[in-house]
Structure 1
Amino acid sequence: MMSKVVIGLSGGVDSAVSAYLLKQAGYEVIGVHLLLLPAYCGQTAAPEDARAVAEQLGIEFHLLDRRAAFAEKVVEPFCAEYFHGRTPSPCLVCNREIKFGLMANFAAEIGAEYIATGHYAKVAKDEQGASYLAKAADLKKDQSYFLCRIRPEVIEKIIFPLSGKTKDEIRKIAKNIGLKVASKPDSQEVCFITDNDYKNFLHTHYGRGKAGFLRDNAGKIIAPHNGVENFTIGQRKGLGVALGKVVYVTAIDGASGDVLLGEHEELMSTELLACDNIFHTSLAIGETIAVEAKVRYRANAAKATLLRLNERETKVTFSEPQRAVTPGQTVCYYRGNRVIGGGVIEKVLKKAEDPCEINI
């Protein structure tokens, strides 16, 4: 009997070719499109494109309405983070809770052994036969950062058919087999913000955050501002002030509304505190290990030590200062190509600060 795999069909070329490759490999493939976007986003072609792919490949297709869960788990926390002066990572939350969380639940309901997507990442096995997440062969397209907080028990059930392929190879396969989505552009960064203007999205649908003051790092008031959601760490454009020199947002206090401005060197830090960590390896409380840590998708993974402080928190200490480490973003931990976990950046630690005692 063929193994059964549920694949998420987004309506794009990557998931379409993934479904084709799975079918060629002998799996019983079941396509699923998750209906996620709120009504105010308008109609998109994605559901019908996904259905058309399934029909073209001759596979079973399901359209699952998960808009309520998406709003609760992804959109509303995204807005709340901005209103608290933090910069969220909605795609990582969506991957854990929706794309791989709800899809894993659906797979269990229908008796499917595996789930799959068109992500560029890899699931490999260690010497003991345990599954782990790793970087894709095409490092330029690698998306393991966005998957680092998927629960370990789900990783065991995942297949990434594109793990060893490049985007050019995927486009070529799609054209060769005549997929209608072969030339479809890649999807945008935040799917529910259709014009990529997150500030307009927040203000139109969820209101405004706390107003306050722009201050220098000595606390002196520079000017008022109309909401902490308008700023992110490292921002230098759109500040609404001219100080005769280049300044950046160096800190945001969501409670008081204060936004601190400073020069470039004030963006640099060597330590952070991360919370809500998920690990894909055994790490005891109080244990320290060497890792490469990545503080945003476009950043390079940098040498660091990882100390597990307690059940919830870790401290990451970098060998070299990192630029614009941002609360609310995700830090992903690697050892070589292997992903060993990830957490949400809670706080940037200054040299004089001690985050908390180790709770053993």
Structure 2
Amino acid sequence: MAQTPVRHWVTTGDQSRLLSEQTPFVLRRDGRDAPGIVVTPDDRKQSMVGFGASITDASAYLIQTRLTPAARDALLRTLFGRDGEGLGFSFTRVTVGASDFSLDHYSLADAPDPTLAGFSTRRMEEHVFPTVRAAMAINPDLKVMASPWSAPGWMKTTGSLIQGTLKPEHYTTYADYWLRYIRSAADNGVPTDYLSIQNEPDFEPDSYPGMRWPATQRAVFIGRHLGPALAQAGIDARILDWDHNWDQPQQPLGVLADDTARRYVSGVAWHCYAGDVAAQDQVRRVHPDKDVFFTECSGGDWAADFGDSFGWTMKTLIIGSTRNWGAAS
């Protein structure tokens, strides 16, 4: 039987090699003196949704306005291309309104109006949606997750996109906000396969949009407002709870303990900035019917050493998350 050479790339902690393609090799069944790969096809775990990265306002702006058409196409093919053309990214996350990676602060309905008459995805149509569409043209199997950093300021206790929490009297309106977003995104060629109702709901940044939202209140919103609204509208966007760090597994467990909310929650999303990746397994053991997603980790001054960060990323995120039931990362 003919054996196909295996192409492979290497990155080293000292940065002497960065995604450097190496001499192809051929896999052998009898390589007793070489590193081995053991495949156990009968020991099945989770089905993978995919790997990828976020398409933020900032990255979409740069891709759409700072690159020539040829450079833009080359970059997107490097990221989303398959069959040897690129990395084959198959999962992406977009922000509903502004995040800390936006040119300015905005929501999709800044004018105080319970009827949402001024609702518009115009800002996302400028750069984010075109970038997602271009990525999907390269990889039609791309799955899209949507996450807001804050509800519109006038719906919150602070009256601002900065800090505060969502007022319960606006839960119905905010569910409508979500339906309008999903429909408008679809009209612009962007699906919403998954969503989380709030990015990092236990953190209130003081300089960019954010919103604290305790588990008991998230359960009410999901179980009595958004979940039923999506079902009644026939929208098959799957809800992921938490979308925050590993150090508080009690938060998604609290939401999933609510019988009504649990019906509408597809899974739990996690971030890397505190706690241990084993929390993913801890929650899944209690709710084995719920998916596990790893949805955010980024670098910063707290991880300045490339070698240490690279080793930690490979061990904890690429290997650790998938070994702890992560279906997407």
User: TM-score, normalization: structure 1?
Assistant: 0.25
From the two aligned structures, give the one with the greater strand fraction. Answer: 1
User: TM-score, normalization: structure 2?
Assistant: 0.27
